[in-house]
Amino acid sequence: MPHPRSNRRPLAALLVANALPVVGVLALDWTVSTVLVLYWLETGVLVAHGGIEGLFAGRPPAAETGGLSPFEELADKRGGVVLHDALGPLYPRNVPAAVEALWLVLLVWPLGGIGLSIVGPDRLLAPGSAPTVAVALAGIVVSNAVELATAVRRGRYDDRPVHAAIPQRRIIGLVALILAAGAFANPPGTATVAGTSLVFGVVVAVKLLLDVGGLLATRDSVPLLSRLAERTQESAPEASVHVPAGNPAARVRTDRTAVRLRAVGLGLVSAVMPPSGLVVFGGAFFTWAFLGTLEAVALGVAVLAVAVLARVVEQELLFGHLEYRIYDEGVLAYDRLLDTPQWFVPTHDIVDTRTSDGLLGHRFGYGTGVLRLQRRDGADARLVFLDDTEQVLATVRR
């Protein structure tokens, strides 16, 4: 059972954070719109917080993703990698679910900023308030970083799926509050002190309720809120993979050069194809129209570099550290980085074998291939990025 102080400290930090706008309005001449800008920036911090925290969730995602994540292949990856001894393992399988869960948030969050710029006054930040807003934002970032480190270190999500760590309803509720309040923040002409004070009081109160409800929902101290937050997030523990006893007859590792070349190609293609390609070309066009050709080219190169880097990391996690261990009993795929078996195909379950060139071998003459093991149920297990496919096939047949 958590120590009472461990529950009181985050609540105290949350109350202090919600008191900052009150201090800003009373002592630092902030406007209601300035408070809304801070809330909008805080929502972005919550998005990053939930996405990172969800990667440490110990249970598999509660449901299959809908194919909206560009890293869909990672969903079947078993095992986690420990980045630091004080933290729990980070599970690559959570990446697709986290990205897909955040798609809606990432689409809605910019709308808050656009809405503020449209319905708010000409100056969203009160004159001279930028430094104090920056200090308040820094405090919010530090508070979320401490809360994230505490949650991961204490294993809060060791027995929960990734979606339980992402406060979608809280984030969307904050954006809705920002948009609704923005329409009444500092209205021109007929504004009264009483009316502005009422808007401010309502905004602060609703924001506090959303924050406290979101905090209590992540803890077992309020069972009803916990059940409401996770009522659709049930998932079964990950099933184990059989590992034969004894030493394998052969160990075959993937060709990491081929893995990286494939990653570069996938990164370039994914960056220019819809939907990301529309964002890239649209952003480059507007950058060219308002800033110039050099800036537009720099933006395009930066986006391509990020896309390629993301794919290199993804493909390295998927295939860069695989080792195929061939036993008399069957074939085991083992990930050396994650120190976890990925799948096992018993010898008696293999009804057919086929070899083919990999994408690089077929298109570019790079000598890697694929060995497919067809199972009785019709599914295929693939041994990919093999330097000598025929030799591996001969070993499996023996």
CATH of the domain at 309: 2.30.29.30
Do 268 and 185 share a domain, yes or no? no
User: Does 99 map to a domain?
Assistant: yes
User: Does 240 map to a domain?
Assistant: no
- pLDDT surpassing 50 at residue 141: yes
Q: What is the pLDDT of residue 37?
A: 81
- pLDDT surpassing 70 at residue 275: no
Which residues are 375's β-sheet partners? 350
- pLDDT surpassing 90 at residue 109: no
Which of 168, 167, 164, 174 minimizes the C-alpha distance to 231?
164
Domain finish residue from 167, 198, 230: 230
User: Does 236 map to a domain?
Assistant: no
Per residue in 149-199, pLDDT (tens digit) is: 888 888 777 777 887 777 767 777 777 777 676 666 555 444 455 555 676
- pLDDT surpassing 90 at residue 333: yes
Structural tokens at position 340: 């976890």
pLDDT band at 207 (very low <50, low <70, confident <90, very high): confident
User: Does 243 map to a domain?
Assistant: no
Task: Tell me the C-alpha distance between 40 and 136, whole Å.
Answer: 13
Residue 190, SS3? coil
Per the structure, how many domains does the chain have? 2
Q: Give φ, ψ of 23 to 5 degrees.
A: -60, -40
Do 145 and 47 share a domain, yes or no? yes
Rounded to two decimals, the pTM is 0.74
Question: Maximum CA pair distance of the chain?
Answer: 88
Residue 386 domain boundaries: 250-397
Percent of the chain with pLDDT over 90: 22
Do 272 and 199 share a domain, yes or no? no
Do 177 and 97 share a domain, yes or no? yes
User: Does 299 map to a domain?
Assistant: yes
- Mean pLDDT, residues 118-134 taken together: 70
Task: Tell me the C-alpha distance between 324 and 42, whole Å.
Answer: 46
Do 219 and 258 share a domain, yes or no? no
User: Does 13 map to a domain?
Assistant: yes
Task: Tell me the C-alpha distance between 126 and 133, whole Å.
Answer: 10
**Whose structure tokens read 């920036």?**
41
Per residue in 6-19, pLDDT (tens digit) is: 556 667 777 777 77
Do 16 and 132 share a domain, yes or no? yes
Which of 34, 31, 36 minimizes the C-alpha distance to 180?
36
Do 265 and 222 share a domain, yes or no? no
Q: What is the pLDDT of residue 231?
A: 43
